[in-house]
Amino acid sequence: MSESFVVLMAAFLAVAAITVGGIVYGASQSRDLEGWLIHSRLMGPILVWFLLGTEIYTAFTFQGLAGFAYANGSAVFYNVALNDVAYAIGFLVLPAIWLIGKRFGYVTQADFLAGRYRSRNLGIFVALTSALIMIAYIDLNIEGLGAVVQVIGKGAFNQTGADLVGFLVLALAVLLGGIRGNAWQAVVKDILMFIAVVVIFFTIPLHYFGSFGNFYHNLATHASQYLVLPGKAKKLGPLWLITTVALTAMGQWMWPQWFGVAYTAKSPKTLKLEAIFMPFYQLVKVMMITVGFAAVLIFAGTKVNGNNVVMLLALRTFPEWFLILFTIAAVFAAIVPAGPIIMTSASLLAKNVYAALVPNTSERTVYRLTKWLVFPLTLLAFGLAAAAPALIVVVLLVAYDFISQLFPAVVIGGLFWRRATKEGATAGILVGWVVSGALLLTKHDPFLGVNAGLWGLLANVLVFVAVSLATPAVDRGYLEDFLRTAFPQPKAMAVAAEQQVEG
């Protein structure tokens, strides 16, 4: 029996066992849509921390970052900065989203937009398009799983078949365990990932170079272009890094699955605590970037697929027993984060598209349809990954260019600018997608050094404002009530305001 067969079978047996645990743990809260999708708004700080961690730090972090560092050098540090900026944005806006969701019973991002703009059609439009964009994120995790099987199996196993088995396991876990079961899997996944990342971070430089000092000296001497901008990446200079950080930080909470995490929390305080403590996860990213830089020297003169460098290093460095643990961590980093993405996509299509188009659809029917959609969506993502494989980070960056176009409608108009209208929101999103898509398709990313998606976002904002000013606003009384929920006044301020009006 070959080593690769033992490692992969042990990894998938462990995944199956933990999946069953997640199903058992989550089944009691998965009896209706609110329980299945957002755990009835009952998650405390620890579960939310792990849930956010598993959704944000995925196969992209475990494999993609090292691959991007290996292929493009220091441009990879955009990804460390983006999360820190995004957590600051989350600290400000997620508690407000929780308050509105609690009062009006919202469970999806499309619910929020349809309610804020009083537009069923806007809710349908955003739900349908964002569900399709999210397929790219599922695709990213499929590619991560494929890379694990390809490297560990040494070409002896059918990658397509392994992808299919892994995501059928995922779909079953999502179908039966819901978000609570996924959170349980997230705890196991993150603990394993922390162990694997810390071990490879210390082992690779010490094993191959003797010390971190020797490693960095060799990198600066023999591959100095990897340490400067644009350096190895050529087109990805400082302006690209700054604009990409800005775009992706604004886009992070526009992903419906991360937006929806705001609804799972027990209270707004839980969300503020997450924004404060989530940056600790950034250490994982820095460690994997370091591994990617080490791969530049270790694989010098050899052409290696960036998606594979982490698993190749693990395969040539670790004994079989630890390689099994490392592979389990890598498989979970690919499978577990895709759970909330699939759940959110299915709920958007069932609740905000089908139920909006078919009047009088019962909550029970919506819940059943949401669960039925889990397998078709998983298989669609699997098909796209098989048909169009790409570097993991490239997939993510393109997806961010499009999902970030929701920021003006969701944050600017959704929470702060009362004059924003449904027509302005729709027109802005469409223009942003057209501009971003045109630049990407004509290979003008970056354009004049600026991330293509940010050009789209600038055009989006201009159109959003212009069209909103030219179209009828939402009823002022309704908006005052809606936004008062998001930003409640302290009691003393409210009394003072009433006295001033009476005076």
Condensed to tens digits (0 to 9), the pLDDT of residues 389-438 reads 555 556 667 788 899 999 999 999 999 999 999 999 999 999 999 999 99
What pLDDT score was predicted for residue 378? 77
- The CA distances from residue 309 to 62, 68, 318, 402, in Å, are 11, 10, 14, 28
- Cα distances from 180 to residues 149, 311, 326, 445, in angstroms, run 28, 30, 25, 39
Number of neighbours of residue 204 by Cβ within 10 angstroms:
22
Contact assessment for residue 53 and residue 278, using Cβ atoms and an 8 Å cutoff: yes
What the block records as the tokens of 84 is: 């820190």
- What percentage of the chain reaches a pLDDT higher than 90? 35
Q: List Cβ<8 Å contacts ≥24 apart for 86-89.
A: 86/248, 86/249, 86/250, 86/252, 86/253, 87/275, 87/276, 87/278, 87/279, 88/275, 89/249, 89/250, 89/252, 89/253, 89/411
Q: What is the pLDDT of residue 499?
A: 45
For residue 404, give the DSSP letter.
Answer: G
Query: Would you give the DSSP letter of residue 43?
Result: B
Q: How far apart are CA 125 and CA 170, in angstroms?
A: 28
pLDDT of residue 216: 94
Tens of pLDDT, residue by residue over 278-294, are: 888 888 899 999 999 99
Q: Angle at the Cα of 115 (from 109 to 121), degrees rounded to 5?
A: 80
Spans of the chain below 50 pLDDT: 30, 492-503
pLDDT at 333: 75
| Domains of the chain listed by start with CATH number | 3-392 (1.20.1730.10)
- pLDDT averaged over the chain? 81
488 burial class (0-12, 13-18, 19+ CB within 10 angstroms)?
exposed
- HSE-CB of 451 using CA atoms within 13 angstroms: 26
pLDDT, position 173? 61
Distance CA 119, CA 117 (A): 5
- Residue-wise pLDDT for 434-474, tens only, equals 999 999 889 898 999 999 999 999 999 999 999 999 999 99
DSSP helix/strand/coil, 257: helix
Does residue 439 contact residue 452 with C-beta atoms inside 8 Å? yes
Phi, psi (rounded to 5 degrees) for 450: -100, 140
The predicted pLDDT at position 394 comes to: 60
Residue 449: the pLDDT is: 92
The structure tokens 């490692």 sit at: 7
Contact of 335 with 166, CB cutoff 8 Å: yes
Q: d(Cα 387, Cα 401) in Å, to the nearest integer? A: 22
pLDDT computed for residue 44 by the predictor: 67
CB–CB of 215/203 below 8 Å?
no
pTM above 0.85, yes or no: no
